[in-house]
């Protein structure tokens, strides 16, 4: 390993000082304290005190930003990257280059104004999903960011090509191939996706809270328009719907603006965002599988999203995205490039369908029972009706959930699918499996069913085929992983 | 339908130490004592004219405690002991845990990342330990509970050594 002392550290760009002063990046923690102080002592002096406070806090912020900038340095050596920081206590962090799992370059709006980027180095060791193991170099020029990324990820190339010239700092410009380019028309799918619908709803909520804070004397006294009540309600409803649709499209556009997925050498690079540009690099070697997920609304119009399951990638749900939103054919074409597709899914047996319907009906039945009790005791029937409706809806829900489940094995991969609200079809490579878990509840045992969970060191950590026929479990595990799974075979 | 359906997968070969039964009984006793204290406190503090609540606290709660005590002390430990199994084969660690709901877990030695031996407070009283085998997956952890300390130590050492020899790509 490189001796940390032998490396000359590099500072981040000076412009970052200005940036951090403006945003009170370090001094932000002081604001509540200052406010509390002001509240107890009272802002007696009026304008003068307030101005003095603002100037004081800004100066303090500048000082703090300057100190942090001065004490922060980073260096990339032959075998490791070293980051030194800390105002009073020094912290030196050394991460071996072969531990670097991914590099993300982010350019928030203000950073872009100064031509700066933030580089996040993902060096999660061990279990997937750990986000603590991250190095952040905030505020280097775009060119320096690209150079850093190239050097941090160049180690692999050197290992592969041991006879190479060893010029790590200047990797050969590899040809780029555009895999996906976001078509703005795909934004029209956004109102059908739950996550994007939440954007305008949250905005409305914030707006209403703000309106309530406004003192009454500032609220204009609007005359009620001379419309009948029904028409007014319909207008408000229609207006709300239009705002919801427009808001979700706008929200989705901000996040997915000019999404592009390119392949360069052994990596996939995703770029996107209107205000904050994100640049995420995934190693193809570390990809173990793909998910294609579709919500209820997306299924109606044939839309889908696709994500890669990458080992050791922190914040996998966001970073693994290959296609944030698009036609399902595109999503599947992407998945097929990374993982071999399996044959058609094998459906789960009739006992699984019964179990699924029972699970769907149970909440409704509970409400129904409570409703019966209330009707008999207090003569209050609305709950009874609600229970009956819920029970009725539980049947199609259970059937739909059952219809979504299935599993399949192929020569080099396997697949599981589940979920009705969001249907997730996961295709995994055989080598992805690090363990198997077979679960059987009391009722599953009586129905001859079992849930088989493939433990995977990527994505959510495990992918289950729920309620498959119990006697197929061992064969599925064997076909989906390797000879070691023969241990499960009941005939042995 | 009877419960005579065959298990979906093979049973691991070895059973746990018999001390595990005593440990589970002890845990059941502790839980029962705590529950009984809570119910006793409720009986003291809930007034006798609180209608439905009085009935619940005076009659239903003690019955619930009694039933759970019988299950936790009399039934569950023996049933668990009959169900729990473990095995280390030539290339994998394999366990079966649970009593009503059952879970079989299989992890190949080539994918083991770390092996821990844990000794809880109650476990120390009975001279037992748990071997935890961790992989790259947060859900792919095998726990072999309640082995005799000496056995647990040997198993952990053996697994760690073999994992080092056969490790391919442990992710």
Per-residue pLDDT tens digits for A370-387? 999 989 888 888 899 999
**All residues at 6 or more sequence positions from A403 whose CB lies less than 8 Å from its CB, including other chains:** none
Residue to mutate among B5, B111, B140, with most A CBs inside 10 A, is B140
Residue ranges of E strands in A162-302: 176-181, 260-264, 267-272, 277-283, 287-295
Which residue ranges make up each domain of chain B? 19-82, 84-166
| Average pLDDT of the residues of chain B | 89
Q: Tokens at residue A383, please?
A: 């709950």
CB contact under 8 A, B100 and A442: yes
- Residue B151 near residue A471 (C-beta atoms within 8 A): no
Residue A226 lies in a domain: no
Domain end among A120, A155, A173 = A173
Give B84-166's CATH code, choosing from 2.30.29.30, 2.70.70.10, 3.40.50.10070, 2.102.10.10.
2.30.29.30
**pLDDT number for residue A91:** 76
The pair of three-digit structure tokens given for residue A212, joined into one six-digit string: 């309530």
Q: Is residue A278 part of a domain?
A: no
Which of A101, A102, A124, A127 has the most B C-beta neighbours within 10 Å, making it the best mutation to test the interface with B?
A127
Q: Can you tell me the distance from the alpha carbon of A261 to that of A326, in angstroms, rounded to the nearest whole number?
A: 13
Report the share of chain B in percent with pLDDT over 70.
94
Q: What gap in Å lies between CA A143 and CA B19, rounded to an integer?
A: 65
- pLDDT tens, position by position, B23-50: 999 999 999 999 999 999 988 888 877 7
Confidence band (pLDDT; 50, 70, 90) for A131?
very low
Residue A225 falls within a domain, yes or no? no
CB pairs under 8 A between A and B: 138
CB pair distance less than 8 Å for B106 and A485: yes
Give the C-alpha separation, B16 to B82, whole Å. 9
How would DSSP label each residue in A419-461? -SSEEEEEEEEGGGEEEEEEEE-HHHHHHTEEEEEEEESBTTS
The answer to whether residue A319 sits within a structural domain is no
Q: For residue range A455-489, what is the model confidence (pLDDT) as tens digits?
A: 998 888 899 999 999 999 999 999 999 889 998 98
Q: Which of A309, A304, A258, A271 has the alpha carbon at shortest distance from A287?
A: A309
Compute the nearest-CA separation of B144 from chain A (Å): 14
Instruction: Judge whether A246 lies within some domain.
Output: no
| A429–chain B Cβ distance below 8 A for any pair | no
Per the DSSP assignment, residues forming a β-bridge with A268 are A263, A282
Instruction: Determine, yes or no, domain membership for A200.
Output: no
- Do the chains contact at A437 and B111, CB–CB below 8 Å? no
Q: How many CA atoms lie within 13 A of B3 on its CB side?
A: 8
Alpha-carbon distance A487 to nearest alpha carbon in chain B (angstroms): 7
Contact of A79 with A2, CB cutoff 8 Å:
yes
The ipTM, to two decimals, is: 0.90
* Contacts A450 to B, Cβ<8 Å: 8
Rounded Cα distance between A228 and A246, Å, is 27
Residue-averaged pLDDT of chain A: 83
Which of B10, B94, B140 faces A434 most closely, judged by CB atoms? B140
Query: Residue B89 and residue A335: Cα distance in Å, rounded?
Result: 36
The domain boundary, picked from A173, A202, A236, lies at A173
Which residues on chain A are in Cβ contact (under 8 Å) with B87? 487
- Summarize pLDDT for A111-125 with one digit per residue, the tens: 888 889 999 887 654
Split into its structural domains, chain A has a count of 2
Q: Tell me the pLDDT tens digit for each residue of A61-81.
A: 888 888 888 888 898 888 888
A35: number of Cβ within 10 Å: 11
**Interface-testing mutation among B106, B116, B141, B163, with chain A (most A C-beta atoms within 10 A):** B106
**pLDDT at position B101, please?**
93
Percent of chain A at pLDDT above 70?
84
Mutation site, B2, B105, B137, interface A, largest A CB count within 10 A: B137
pLDDT of res. A369: 93
Range of the domain at A43: 4-173
B108:A482 CB<8 A:
yes
Q: pLDDT grade, residue A168 (50/70/90)?
A: very low
| Nearest beta carbon to residue A440 from set B102, B140, B171 | B102
Q: What value, to the nearest 5°, has the Cα angle with vertex B11 and ends B6 and B13?
A: 150
Domain boundary among A173, A196, A230: A173
The closest of A115, A470, A120, A56 to A313, measured between CA atoms, is: A120
Across the interface, of A127, A438, A455, the residue whose CB is closest to B8 is A438
Nearest CA-CA distance, residue A285 and chain B, Å: 12
Residues B85/B89/B94/B99 CA torsion (nearest 10 deg): -10
């Amino acid at each position: 390993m490189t001796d940390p002392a032998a490396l000359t550290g590099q500072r981040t760009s000076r412009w970052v000082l200005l940036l951090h002063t403006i945003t009170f990046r370090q001094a932000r923690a002081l604001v509540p304290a200052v406010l509390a102080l002001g509240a107890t002592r009272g802002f007696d002096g009026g304008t003068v005190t307030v101005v003095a406070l603002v100037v004081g806090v800004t100066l303090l912020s500048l000082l703090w930003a300057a100190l942090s900038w001065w004490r922060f340095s980073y260096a990339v050596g032959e075998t490791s990257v070293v980051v030194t920081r800390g105002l009073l206590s020094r912290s030196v962090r050394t991460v071996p280059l072969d531990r670097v799992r991914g590099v993300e370059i982010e350019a928030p709006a203000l950073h872009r104004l100064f031509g700066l980027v933030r580089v996040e180095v993902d060096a999660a060791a061990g279990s997937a999903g750990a986000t603590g193991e991250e190095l952040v170099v905030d505020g280097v020029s775009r060119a320096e960011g690209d150079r850093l990324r190239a050097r941090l990820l160049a180690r692999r190339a050197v290992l592969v090509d041991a006879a190479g010239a060893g010029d790590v700092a200047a990797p050969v410009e590899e040809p780029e191939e555009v895999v996906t380019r976001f078509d703005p028309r795909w934004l029209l799918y956004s109102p059908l996706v739950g996550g994007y619908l939440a954007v305008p709803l949250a905005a409305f909520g914030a707006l209403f809270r703000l309106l309530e804070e406004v003192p009454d004397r500032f609220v204009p006294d609007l005359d009620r328009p001379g419309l009948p009540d029904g028409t007014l309600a319909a207008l408000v409803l229609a207006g709300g719907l239009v705002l919801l649709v427009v808001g979700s499209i706008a929200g989705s556009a901000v996040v997915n603006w000019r999404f592009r997925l390119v392949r360069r050498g052994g990596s996939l690079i995703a770029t996107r965002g209107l205000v904050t540009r994100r640049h995420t690099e995934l190693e193809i070697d570390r990809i173990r599988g793909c998910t294609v997920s579709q919500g209820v609304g997306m299924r109606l119009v044939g839309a889908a999203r696709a994500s890669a399951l990458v080992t050791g990638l922190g914040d996998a749900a966001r970073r693994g995205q290959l296609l944030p939103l698009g036609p399902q054919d595109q999503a599947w074409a992407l998945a097929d490039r990374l993982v071999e597709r399996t044959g058609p899914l094998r459906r789960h047996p009739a006992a699984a369908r019964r179990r699924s319907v029972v699970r769907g009906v149970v909440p409704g039945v509970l409400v129904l029972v409570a409703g019966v009790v209330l009707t008999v005791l207090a003569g209050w029937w609305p709950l009874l009706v609600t229970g009956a409706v819920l029970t009725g809806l539980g049947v199609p829900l259970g059937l739909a959930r059952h219809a979504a489940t299935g599993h399949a094995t192929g020569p080099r991969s396997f697949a599981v699918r589940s979920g009705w609200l969001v249907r997730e079809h996961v295709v995994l490579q055989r080598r992805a499996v690090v363990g198997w878990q077979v679960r059987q509840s009391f009722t599953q045992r009586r129905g001859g069913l079992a849930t088989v969970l493939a433990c995977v060191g990527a994505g959510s950590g495990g992918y289950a085929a729920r309620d498959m026929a119990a006697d197929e479990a061992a064969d599925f595990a064997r076909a989906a992983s390797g000879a070691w799974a023969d241990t499960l075979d009941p005939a042995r | 339908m009877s419960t005579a359906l065959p298990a979906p997968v093979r049973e691991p070969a070895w059973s746990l130490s018999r001390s595990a039964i005593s440990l589970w009984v002890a845990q059941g006793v502790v839980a029962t004592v705590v529950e009984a204290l809570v119910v006793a406190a409720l009986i003291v503090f809930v007034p006798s004219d609180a209608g439905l609540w009085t009935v619940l606290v005076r009659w239903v709660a003690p019955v619930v405690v009694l039933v759970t005590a019988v299950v936790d002390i009399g039934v569950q430990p023996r049933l668990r002991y009959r169900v729990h199994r473990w095995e280390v084969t030539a290339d994998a660690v394999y366990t079966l845990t649970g009593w009503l709901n059952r879970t079989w877990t299989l992890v190949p030695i080539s994918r083991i990342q770390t092996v821990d031996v844990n000794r809880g407070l109650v476990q120390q009283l009975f001279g037992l330990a748990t071997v935890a085998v961790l992989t790259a997956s947060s859900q792919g952890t095998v726990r072999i509970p309640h082995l005799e300390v000496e056995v647990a130590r040997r198993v952990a050492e053996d697994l760690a050594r073999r994992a080092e020899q056969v490790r391919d790509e442990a992710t």
